[in-house]
Amino acid sequence: MKSQWMIYGANGYSAQLAIEKAIEQGNKPILAGRNKAAIEALGKQFDLPVRIFDLSDIDAVAGHLADVAVVSHCAGPFSATAEPMMKACIQARTHYTDITGEGTVFGIGQTLHEQAKQAGVVLMGGVGFDVIPTDCMTNFLHQKMPDATDLVLGFDSKIDLSPGTTKTMVENIPQGIMVRRNGKIKAVGRRFEMRMIDFGLGPKRSSVLTWGDLYTAYWQTRIPNITVYIPFRGSQLELFLFPLIKLLMSIPFVQKRAMEKAGKIAGPSAKSRAKNSAYVWGEAKNASGKTVAATIEVPNGYTVTMDGILMTADFLRSYQGDGGCFTPSQLMGAELAEQLPGAGKFTLR
């Protein structure tokens, strides 16, 4: 039975947080990626084994995974890197996790469900803040209301962004804002169904956000109408100018410059992460209009991602169940959010 654990894209911000904590826990993951200098420097710094390879040849990648039980895939942009790594994992019979929040990437995993199932391989995307807390909220609410037809999720968190998160946001601006209606992904405007929501710190005017749960919550529950919110911190001018911002960010030169600036961001400090927790809220409604709502407080998003990487890898290293594409809470239960170090409990509202 394979037992090795690999962190691919080990030189990324969240990956390095996970490496440091893994060592504290007595683990020795293989550090991998395509940046030879960066990966070898990390291997030397932490006295860990390294493997240098890119994802251009799936057969070659599978060879590097032959003795690996679980890959924690942390190398973005996931829109380019996730599919070859998933396919290599299926070929090598290696369980796969990633820290994406991109809906299209969750969709790729879902299209590979049958192949993964036949190979006995788990494909589990979104094992960070995208989407563990909201995915577990979905699971918790669905248990309370199995006949729900509408699911609304949201979170309130003040965090500094890492380079990878910022690049993903820049990449996704031209795609606009999405919700799920009648089972289908639908583009909406910046002002769509703005509402007051109490995430746990008092009512705040909130706006719709494109979030991975549009794919993961639907995959888990088949609830046809799904919307995700965050507090609106912009201005009326920003609401008015959003179509122009989308247009500008679709210009390759503008996108490239924005990506270059995003790559220079340092990421949040430990002090910043420690003082800024996240408040997650959810509400389910059935056809008769009955609703159930809940909240939970979890640590800072990057801390959740760090712990999510470790907790899911540890779970899958000894996993003996069926293969296929799963959300984190489908395999590990709604209580996964409560098990995050420093997290609270689900509270019905």
Where do the H-state alpha helices sit in 173-300? 213-221, 236-249, 252-262, 270-275
- What is the per-residue pLDDT for 254? 59
- What is the per-residue pLDDT for 274? 72
Asked if residues 162 and 300 have their Cβ atoms less than 8 Å apart, the reply is no
Map residue 284 onto helix, strand or coil: strand
- What is the per-residue pLDDT for 158? 73
Asked if residues 297 and 205 have their Cβ atoms less than 8 Å apart, the reply is no
Residue 89: which H helix or E strand, with range?
A: helix 78-92
Asked if residues 228 and 210 have their Cβ atoms less than 8 Å apart, the reply is yes
Angle between helices 103-111 and 78-92 (to 10 degrees): 20
CA angle 276, 72, 129 (to 5 degrees): 25
Task: For residue 15, give the nearest of 7, 4, 27, 3 by alpha carbon.
Answer: 7
- What is the per-residue pLDDT for 46? 97
Beta 95-98 vs 122-124: how paired, if at all? parallel
- What is the per-residue pLDDT for 47? 97
- What is the per-residue pLDDT for 157? 85
Kindly report the pTM of this predicted structure: 0.90
Q: What is the mean pLDDT of each run of 10 residues along the chain (349 residues)?
A: 94 96 97 98 98 98 98 94 98 98 95 98 96 97 98 86 55 76 95 94 93 97 97 67 60 66 66 83 98 97 96 97 98 98 96
d(CA 136, CA 311): 14
d(CA 322, CA 16): 30
- What is the per-residue pLDDT for 172? 59
**302 is written with which tokens?**
């990057």
Domains of the chain: 4-128+303-332 (3.40.50.720), 132-300 (3.30.360.10)
- What is the per-residue pLDDT for 43? 98
Q: Which residues pair with 293 in a beta bridge?
A: 283
